[in-house]
């Protein structure tokens, strides 16, 4: 199947061709025709499935079908909301790439950077706004952004927005949008909250579900290395050196853990950077650019900071610590093995994390291959202790066997904390 049959016009087909895409992905095949029929959609699709083009292409197409006067007026006709700055930037980049041969102007809006340059973007008129909710509200309050002519609303990674506590901001934004509009909701997971949001937002939506990344991820080889917690860093160094790995995305559960590991790797002579919410936007952008350029071999990231990181052909993803939310594992390994390229997802798992591993295997409906390297065989006398989710550093040093003192986490993560956590 080719893109030509989906109902997209020449300027978009040209941009697609320039990107080198030969055929639409499943989400694109399903979503594009439905969106072009002006229907609301509720789509279950994760990063890596091609979802961004799945909504950006038909959006641009519909915008370009409007009368010329409307197109020339450059008022905000489409609003795309994303949970993180990185995702806003990347969706913005996609809008620019796919809309290259069309006359629309877009603005990318997120917090953590100066507001004035963002305000300046609106002076010449903007057709498409890609924004995180908090900063958008600031600009609405300052009367810089007028959403009264919005025809299309897209919520990207809506589950993550709710997890990050954006629901009230979203409600405020919904309240000022025109009632007559087309709504597209993308979410990697379905929860009761997503159901409620979609009922509030969508009119008789078409449901679209594409194979979860874990099912589609045959190209990702998954391995678990069993190892004691104290020896994880040593094992990571061993794997990097033995395998001559060059570009590695490493996940930790906490910001503190990301910083510490990055510093330790640097000390061992491996160029490394950490990326998480306590870093300034500029530091995060630089770390990502250095990683993409190969100046930095290891990027250590927390889950939320890594959302939306889009690096084609990333060869190695390492779970230095398993996530306590099994879906996050799927997101993490989705960073490798993209677009048909092989990839490897390695998890370093200590005895404390065996329950997390079980939940992950249950979710992906597959046993992950387990390896215990001779030199790193876990000490069988070490008993599992609760996982400390950060914040309380001292707890890590308590003797084994007792209550580790940290917050015990079993199935769910205290996610609904504050917005902007990362």
Cβ nearer to ligand AMP, comparing 54 with 205: 54
Give me the least distance between CB of 223 and ligand AMP, in Å please.
24
In 308-376, DSSP assigns E strands to: 316-319, 343-349, 369-371
Give me the least distance between CB of 51 and ligand AMP, in Å please.
5
Cβ nearer to ligand AMP, comparing 293 with 312: 312
Cβ within 8 Å of residue 95, ≥6 positions away: 56, 60, 80, 104, 106, 128, 130
29 touches ligand AMP by CB under 6 A:
no
Cβ nearer to ligand AMP, comparing 289 with 411: 289
Give me the least distance between CB of 73 and ligand AMP, in Å please.
29
Cβ nearer to ligand AMP, comparing 215 with 339: 339
CA–CA separation, 344 and 346 (whole Å):
6
CA–CA separation, 382 and 365 (whole Å):
28
CA–CA separation, 126 and 73 (whole Å):
9
Here the tokens at position 356 are 């997390």
Residue found under tokens 């709710």 = 162
Evaluate whether 112 touches 278 at the Cβ level (below 8 Å): no
Q: In this chain, which stretch among 19-27, 159-167, 220-228, 369-377 interacts with ligand AMP, using CB under 6 A? A: 19-27
Cβ nearer to ligand AMP, comparing 48 with 205: 48
Evaluate whether 322 touches 357 at the Cβ level (below 8 Å): yes
Residues binding ligand AMP: number (CB under 6 A)? 15
Q: In this chain, which stretch among 24-32, 125-133, 325-333, 401-409 interacts with ligand AMP, using CB under 6 A? A: 24-32
| 10-19 helix and 85-98 helix, angle to the nearest 10 degrees | 120
Evaluate whether 69 touches 44 at the Cβ level (below 8 Å): no
Cβ nearer to ligand AMP, comparing 48 with 257: 48
25 touches ligand AMP by CB under 6 A:
yes
| Nearest residue to ligand AMP, scored by beta-carbon proximity | 52
Element spanning 176, H or E: helix 167-176
Contacting ligand AMP within 341-370 (CB under 6 A): none
Candidate list 215, 339, 371, 384; residue touching ligand AMP; CB under 6 A = 339
SS3 at position 355: helix
Candidate list 7, 11, 13, 21; residue touching ligand AMP; CB under 6 A = 21
CA–CA separation, 277 and 260 (whole Å):
15
Cβ within 8 Å of residue 68, ≥6 positions away: none
Give me the least distance between CB of 157 and ligand AMP, in Å please.
10
Q: Give the gyration radius of the chain's Cα atoms.
A: 22
312 touches ligand AMP by CB under 6 A:
yes
Contacting ligand AMP within 39-58 (CB under 6 A): 47-53
Cβ nearer to ligand AMP, comparing 28 with 30: 28
Contacting ligand AMP within 78-137 (CB under 6 A): none
Cβ within 8 Å of residue 293, ≥6 positions away: none
Letters for 271-310 (x = contact with ligand AMP by CB under 6 A, - = none) are ---------------------------------------x
Give me the least distance between CB of 1 and ligand AMP, in Å please.
10
Cβ nearer to ligand AMP, comparing 52 with 272: 52
Hey, CA dihedral for 299, 106, 137, 79, is it positive or negative?
Answer: negative
Evaluate whether 372 touches 338 at the Cβ level (below 8 Å): no
Q: Which residues bind ligand AMP (CB under 6 A)?
A: 21, 24-25, 28, 47-53, 310, 312, 338-339
């Amino acid at each position: 199947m080719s893109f030509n049959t989906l109902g997209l016009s020449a300027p978009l087909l040209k941009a697609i061709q320039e990107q080198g895409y030969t055929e639409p992905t499943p989400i694109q095949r399903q979503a594009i025709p439905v969106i072009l029929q002006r229907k609301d959609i509720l789509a279950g699709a994760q990063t890596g499935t091609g979802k961004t083009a799945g909504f950006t292409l038909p959006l641009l197409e519909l915008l370009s079908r409007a009368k010329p006067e409307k197109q020339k007026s450059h008022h905000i006709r489409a609003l795309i909301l994303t949970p993180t700055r990185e995702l806003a930037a990347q969706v913005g980049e996609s809008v620019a790439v796919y809309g290259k041969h069309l006359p629309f102007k877009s603005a990318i809006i997120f917090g953590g950077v100066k507001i004035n340059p963002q305000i300046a973007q609106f002076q010449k008129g903007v057709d498409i706004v890609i924004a995180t909710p908090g900063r958008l509200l600031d600009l609405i309050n300052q009367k810089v952004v007028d959403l009264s002519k919005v025809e299309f609303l897209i919520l990207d990674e809506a589950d993550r927005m709710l997890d990050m506590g954006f629901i009230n901001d979203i409600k405020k934004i919904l309240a000022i949008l025109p009632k007559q509009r087309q709504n597209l909701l993308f979410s990697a997971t379905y929860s009761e909250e997503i159901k409620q949001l979609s009922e509030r937002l969508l009119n008789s939506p078409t449901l679209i579900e594409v194979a979860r990344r874990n099912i589609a991820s045959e190209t990702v080889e998954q391995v678990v290395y069993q190892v004691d917690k104290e020896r994880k860093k040593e094992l990571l160094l061993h794997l990097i050196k033995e395998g001559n790995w060059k570009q590695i995305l490493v996940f930790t559960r906490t910001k503190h853990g990301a910083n510490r590991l990055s510093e330790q790797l640097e000390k061992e002579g491996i160029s490394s950077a950490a990326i998480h919410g306590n870093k300034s936007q500029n530091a995060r952008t630089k770390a990502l650019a250095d990683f993409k350029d190969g100046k930095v071999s290891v990027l250590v990231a927390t889950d939320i900071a890594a959302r939306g990181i889009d690096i084609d052909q990333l060869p190695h993803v390492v779970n230095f610590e398993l996530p306590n939310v099994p879906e996050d594992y799927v997101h993490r390994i989705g960073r490798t093995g993209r677009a048909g390229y092989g990839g490897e997802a390695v998890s370093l798992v200590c005895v404390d994390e065996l329950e997390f591993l079980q939940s992950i295997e249950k979710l992906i409906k597959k046993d992950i291959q387990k390896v215990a390297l001779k030199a790193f065989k876990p000490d069988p006398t070490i008993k599992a202790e609760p996982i400390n989710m950060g914040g309380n550093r001292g707890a890590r040093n308590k003797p084994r066997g007792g209550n580790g003192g940290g917050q015990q986490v079993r199935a769910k993560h205290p996610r609904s904390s504050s917005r902007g956590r990362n």
